[in-house]
Structures are given as C-alpha cells and as structure tokens.
Amino acid sequence: MSWFKRVKHGILTKTQDKKPTPDGLWHKCPECKEPTSTKEFEANLWVCPSCNHHDRIGSREYFNILFDEGKFKELDENLISGDPLHFEDTKPYLQRLESSIKKSGLNDAVRTATGKIHGIKVSMAVMDFAFIGGSMGSVVGEKISRAIDVALEQNLPMIVISKSGGARMMEAAFSLMQMAKTSAKLALLDEAKLPYISVLTDPTTGGITASFAMLGDINIAEPKALIGFAGPRVIKETIGKDLPAGFQRSEFLQEKGFLDFIVERKDLKQKLHDVLHIFNVKKKSTLINKKKNKQKKFSKKLKYTKEHEWIAIEGDIATVGVTEFAQSELGDIVFIEIETVGDTLSKDEVFGTIEAVKTVSDLFMPLSGEITEMNDGLEGEPESVNSDPYQAGWMIKIKLSDASEVDGLLSAADYKALIGH
C-alpha cells in the first residue's frame, strides 16, 4: 500500500481565491513560442535558449554588454528634436516626441558614448527601436556625426549599431539630409585611416541601410536580422512574385556579399575586439602619431634610399628602417617578417617583408653587409613603425662590408625632392 493516498479529487481552490502569476516573470519567444524565465532570458543576453532567436534590445543593454564593466561616457545626451515643419498626422509631432520620451525614457532614437572594449577605447552610437521605430531625424544624424568628430579628435575607432525603420517622415527632407551628412563624416574617418565597424541588427531598413549602416570597413550582423531598403512585403507586391526563403535576412545578405560576419550576441564583444586588433588598434593608442613623426621627417643626420628606407650610420654599423612617408603610404602595419639575421647580403637584396592592412612589400638591403641584429620589439608591436618609425620602429642593424656604398645613398634634400616635399 502506498504511503500517500489522495482523499479529495479535483481543484478545490475557488476562482476568486486564485493568485495570478505576476507579470514579468516569464518571456515567450516570438519565434518558437517557448517560455523562458525572465531571469534566464536576460542572463542569456535576451536570446532564446531554445531557438537562438535574438530579441530586440536597446542602447542600455548594448552598452552594458560591450563596454568593460558597463562603464562609458555618454555624449550629447540632452539633444532633443524640434519641429521645424510643424508636422501633424494623427497628432502633432511635438506631442508624439513628448509621448515617446515619456514611454521610452530616451531623448531620441540614438545614444552615443565613448568607452572601452577589452581595454580598447572606442566611440560608439547605438540606435533604439523603442523611440519612434528607431527612425532617423535630425538629432540622430547630428549625434552620430558628433560621435564621429570625437573619434577623429581622439584617434578612436567608430562603431555604429543600427536598429531602425529608416528616415523619420515627420522631418521630411531634414531627415533625408542626415544620410548625406553621416556618410560625409564617415569619409573623413576613412581619410584619417580610422576604422569604422557597422553592426546591423533587427531591423535595419530604409535610409539607414542606404547610408551609414552599409558603409563599414567591416559590416557585421546578428543572426536572422531583417536588413534591406524596402520591406519584403512591399517588394513582393511590387514585383508580383514570391520572394526566396530567408530574403533580406542576415544569412541571405552574407551569401550575396553584403556582410562580412554574422555574430551571435554573446560573441559580439570579442569579435569587435578581434576586428579592432586586425586594424592594428591597441589598448594604448598606437595609431599614426603624425605630429611626432613630422619633427623627424627629413633628418639631415640620416641617409635615404629610393625604396623609402632611412639609414643611420655609426662607424661600420648601419641601422635601417622605413621612412615616415613610407609608413603613411603603407597604412596600418600588422606584421613584419625578418628571417635573415646572421646572413650576409648584397645591396638591393631582399632582407624581409612588411605587411600592412592594404598591401605586402619587400624590404631591400640599402647597403651590403651582415645583418647582425633585428628589432625584436616589432614582433609584438609592428605598429611601432607607424607611430615612431625613426626610433622604436627601426628594423635591422648591418655590419658594412663596403663603406663606399654609403656615397650612393640620398641626402635629406635629395629624398625630400624625390617624394615631392
């Protein structure tokens, strides 16, 4: 006989005595419909543990996920849109703005900040879909442009996380002008050789896709994010045909070459750090220190070659590196290979290679002799050739075998004329 026996059957609690489940304890996935406790859902970075659906999150969540210890300095947080067109649809635009501010706790559809990702300082803009569908008005364009200005002033990489329905119709042409404005600012980043990483999340559509979202040096997306200009329903009705499976989703766009990576949210911080490392951005700013290099650009104590190498001679030892002009033309240097230490080479023979983001070039012997030493520091910090080419960025030392070859090197004046300065 069992030790427990039900005496009364059925549910005996009266309806009026039943206690409802408190709101907010559970989350139901919109994709697979599986319930997850809110606590587990947040711990999983708002990603469904059953089907991996990435739920929409805003700037607050991304800042906490990406910035070290969730610490950041917000930029231009008090900018608020005006109503220059006195627009009104079902209600006045100003009233709609006030309602969105009150409901979302945000001043507009983007927040900008500086902070560190695994020790690397960046300038970042994150869009909020909760504010009028993440639509881009004049404030969104202005804040992103100012964040780019901060990146330029402080030599920082720029990251933009997009989540938007496109241009804000209530601001009409003022909204469309932001497409050109932000794109022009990003062109300045390119001129300054500062990396721009674009992260596209669900959804990224309309004028956002047609401007800064697709202009990244690297374009990254979250899984299954909707990305496009016009929505799939509009396209289907226009062409009168069914669309391919997965049309305008991240995986479809990556297959067509529009995206570089698809990265799950849990891996996004590390992936951003890895990409920044590829672009030669370190914890301490090692981007080209142009001001410092200009002071030593044409030192009269040095000799030069047509291959843009500099040579410092002390007795029968020559120290060799590449010039400031050469490193600026190469771009960010990521790897230097020299395996000829101990070898005796003739003038103009190759002693190594230098690899930059843009190209790979051979390094040539400016003088004949034995390579007695290389700069071991370049193995871990090849970017020293960018930041300080005449001191920390030296490459090899040569014990000269024919001192008369020195007479064939260029003087500072000759080299200056060669490069047109």
- The Cα-based distances of 213 to 49, 75, 201, 279 in angstroms read 28, 20, 10, 19
| Residue 85 near residue 138, CB atoms below 8 Å | no
- Which is nearest to 264 in space by CA: 65, 26, 37, 27? 65
pLDDT value of residue 243: 87
pLDDT value of residue 291: 39
The whole-angstrom separation of Cα 399 and Cα 404 is 13
pLDDT value of residue 25: 86
- Which is nearest to 201 in space by CA: 46, 71, 64, 72? 46
Reported in sequence order, the residue ranges of 85-119 that DSSP labels E, i.e. its strands, are 110-117
Residue range 25-45, pLDDT digits in tens:
899 999 999 999 999 999 999
pLDDT value of residue 296: 44
Residue range 293-341, pLDDT digits in tens:
444 456 778 999 999 999 999 999 999 999 999 988 888 888 899 999 9
pLDDT value of residue 151: 95
The whole-angstrom separation of Cα 331 and Cα 231 is 39
pLDDT value of residue 2: 59
- Which is nearest to 343 in space by CA: 369, 364, 309, 322? 369
pLDDT value of residue 69: 93
The whole-angstrom separation of Cα 349 and Cα 346 is 6
| Residue 262 near residue 256, CB atoms below 8 Å | no
Helix, strand or coil for residue 329? Answer: helix
- The Cα-based distances of 369 to 162, 257, 347, 387, 407 in angstroms read 56, 49, 8, 28, 15
DSSP string, 146-211: HHHHHHHHHT--EEEEEEE--B-GGGHHHHHHHHHHHHHHHHHHHHTT--EEEEEEEEE-HHHHTT
The whole-angstrom separation of Cα 412 and Cα 310 is 10
pLDDT value of residue 116: 95
User: How is residue 263 written in tokens?
Assistant: 């990265």
pLDDT value of residue 21: 57
pLDDT value of residue 7: 65
User: How is residue 399 written in tokens?
Assistant: 């014990």
Preceding amide of 203 cis, omega within 30: yes
- The residues, ordered by sequence, that sit 6+ positions from 321 with a Cβ below 8 Å of its Cβ are 309, 310, 385, 389, 390, 393, 394, 395
Domains of the chain: 24-55 (no CATH), 57-278 (3.90.226.10), 290-418 (2.40.50.100)
Residues of the chain with pLDDT under 70: 1-23, 281-298, 358, 421
